[in-house]
Structures are given as C-alpha cells and as structure tokens.
Structure 1
Amino acid sequence: MRTLRMLMVPVAFSGGLSSLALADDGSVTFAELDSLLASAGQHDVTAYEEIAVKDGGRIEMQGWRDDGWQLDVESLQRDGSLTREAQQRSDIPTWSLAGGDVEQTLNVARRSGLQRFESLDVDASGHLDIEDYDNQRREIELRLDGSDFSTIGVDNA
C-alpha cells in the first residue's frame, strides 16, 4: 500500500463551501475540487476508493482512516452539511489510493486537458478511473495505471 499522507487531500465535509457552485451536469471545476479537498480534515481519510460529485449538489467519498475504519461519507457541496456517514471496521486494501496519489492523479487529468471533475474510482486491480469533461463539455473517461499514473485508456463518451 502507498503510505504517503497528505493533510490537504481528504474530501471536504466541513462548512464554508457555499461559494462553490455546482454545475448542472453534476461536476465541478478543478479549482472548486481543490478548494473542497484543501478545506477537509475532520474525517482523517488517508486511503481512497472513490471521490464523486453526485446529482443534487452532493459530494461522496469512500475510503479508510489510518486506524482501519472504512468510511462512506456524503455531504452537501453548498455548505458541507453531512447527509450520510457509514463506518465499518476493515483492513486498508493495498490497492487503495493514498492522499498524495489523489493529487497526482488529478494532475494527470488536468494535463490531459480535462476541465471539470465528476468522479475518481480505484478498483481492486489498482486501476484509476477518472470521469471528467473537456473544454467542449464532452465527457471523457481516463483509465490510469495506479502504480505509475500512466494513461492506459481514454474513452470519449
């Protein structure tokens, strides 16, 4: 498992997010996502399985804390109000994505020309799937190798 911990990366579920506007397509700009990630901290997530913008202005995060508790948390983007939280004792899988690796993954998406963020998923084989939009607002799905962040597939939906 990658053990790099980055304090600014856990998804934001605290107040003060009302200035961020959710697009009607269920995505956010990378600047908005950076603000969400930078203002987080209360859940202490260090390993991720999913970060997603959901319909209705909700943000969902699934991952693990260092103590092995698996979290599934959802909040409103506009103000960070917690709408759902589930926890269960679990082992942190070796394929999970560490905080610093989330930032590196999002940087690859930006360099690939993507303008908006919809979701990031990690699967048990270590592949990363990023759903985003380019500057013509076309949906694009990037598939990355989790070991070196190289692009192994692009699907223009």
Structure 2
Amino acid sequence: MRTLRLCMLPVALTGGLSSAALAAEGSLSHSELQALLNQADQYGFSHYEEISVEDNTHLEIDGWRDDGWQLDLELLIEDGSVTHEWQRKSQIPDWSLTGDEVRQALTNAREAGMQRFEQLDVDERGHIEIEGYTTQNREVELRLNRDGLSVTGVEND
C-alpha cells in the first residue's frame, strides 16, 4: 500500500503543474506578440481598439488604418498569415490607441508583472484593460490610464 501512495504523489503533482501550464495556453509571450504586431503594422494598422488571442491559434486585431478604414483581421499565431479580413470605411476615433501607445501599454503591463498576453481592449471612454498571465501562470488583469498609459489597477485571479 505504501508503494501505491508514493506512485500517486508524483501523478498528483504533475497534474497540478499541467493545469498551471494549461492556464497560460492561449496566451503569447512578449516577443511572439511583438512579431504579430509588426505583421499588423505591415497590413496598415495605425490605431487599435482590441487585440486578443482566439482559440489558442489566432490573434484577432480590431482597429483602423490611417485612411480611416476600420479593420478586423485574424492572424494565424503560428506564422502570421491572414485567415480572416473584414474592412469598412469609418473614421478613427480619438480614444483608439496608436501602435506606439499599444506597445507602451504592453511594456507597462510587462513591468507590472504580466509575462504572457491574452487580450488588450480600449473602450470609448478611454478605459484600457490588458489581460494575461504572470510568471507563475496566475491570471492578471491590468487597468491603464489613457493619458500616460500608467497602470491604475491590478487584479489577480
């Protein structure tokens, strides 16, 4: 009986580690996200509303080009290829984030402890939320100030 208990302990411990590792699945490292944002820049994005990892395989980006066209684009995480594209004539809202602002917000989120990215969202009131995971694979949600992009709140789950 003692042998059985000792054999079960490593299984229980690895099961716990697997759950933690799975928690961050569907998220991107800083470098993976930067490479995909560079793809979006080449596609013409100049302003952003939402960036999110979908189904562990795609990055969905909603935003605008400089000419005012609103874009909804899905990139395959694996290689950055476009899997979905939608656009319509629109105007760039004042509350949207430029590419430089998105990168600064992500840098500030990383400095606040976020190591893996899942979603960034900015709304019409200028509220910015970034969701992801810490080094310990704990979910974290950060709120940022639109002016200065400083972190104003952190919620750990």
Counterparts of 1:44-123 in structure 2, within 5 Å, are: 44-123=44-123
Q: Distance in 1 between matches of 2:112 and 2:96?
A: 23
Task: Write the distance in 1 (CA, Å) between the matches of 2:80 and 2:129.
Answer: 25
Report the CA distance shift for 1:76/1:109 in structure 2 as closer, same or farther (over 3 A). Answer: same
* Residues 110/56 of structure 1: CA separation in 2 closer, same or farther (3 Å cut): closer
Equivalent AA in structure 2 for residue 139 of structure 1? E
Larger Rg over CA atoms: 2
Contact kept, 8 Å, 2:121 with 2:128, in 1: the verdict is yes
Counterparts of 1:138-153 in structure 2, within 5 Å, are: 138-153=138-153
More helix by share: 2
- How much has 1:28 moved relative to structure 2? 0.8
Query: In 2 relative to 1, CA 48–40 (structure 1 residues): closer, same or farther, beyond 3 Å?
Result: closer
What displacement does 1:124 show? Answer: 0.6
Within 1, Cα distance between the matches of 2:24 and 2:112?
A: 23
Shift of the 43–88 alpha-carbon distance from structure 1 to 2, 3 Å rule, reads same
SS state of the match for residue 108, structure 1?
helix
| Structure 1 Cα separation of the partners of residues 149 and 81 of structure 2 | 33
Q: Which moved more, 1:133-142 or 1:75-84?
A: 75-84
Q: Which residue of 2 aligns with 1:4?
A: none
| Match in the other structure for 1:43 | 43
Q: Which runs of 5+ in 1 are unaligned?
A: 1-22
- Whichever residue aligns with residue 46 of structure 2, its letter is T
Greater shift, 147-156 or 114-123, is seen at 147-156
Q: What secondary structure sits across from 1:105 in the alignment?
A: helix
Give percent identity, aligned residues only: 53
**Could you tell me how far 1:80 is from its partner in structure 2?**
2.3
Give 1:18's aligned residue: none
Preserved CA contact (<8 Å) 2:144 2:150: yes
Contact 2:24 2:133 in 1 (8 A): no
Q: 2:105 touches 2:150 (CA, 8 Å); kept in 1?
A: no
RMSD: 1.6
The farther-off stretch of 123-132 and 145-154 is: 145-154
> Normalization by structure 1: what TM-score?
0.80
Please give the alpha-carbon distance, in whole angstroms, between the structure 2 residues aligned to 1:39 and 1:63.
14
Matched, 1:124 2:127: no
Say yes or no: does 1:154 pair with 2:154.
yes
CA distance in 1, matches of 2:143, 2:74: 24
* Structure 2: gaps of 5 or more residues: 1-22
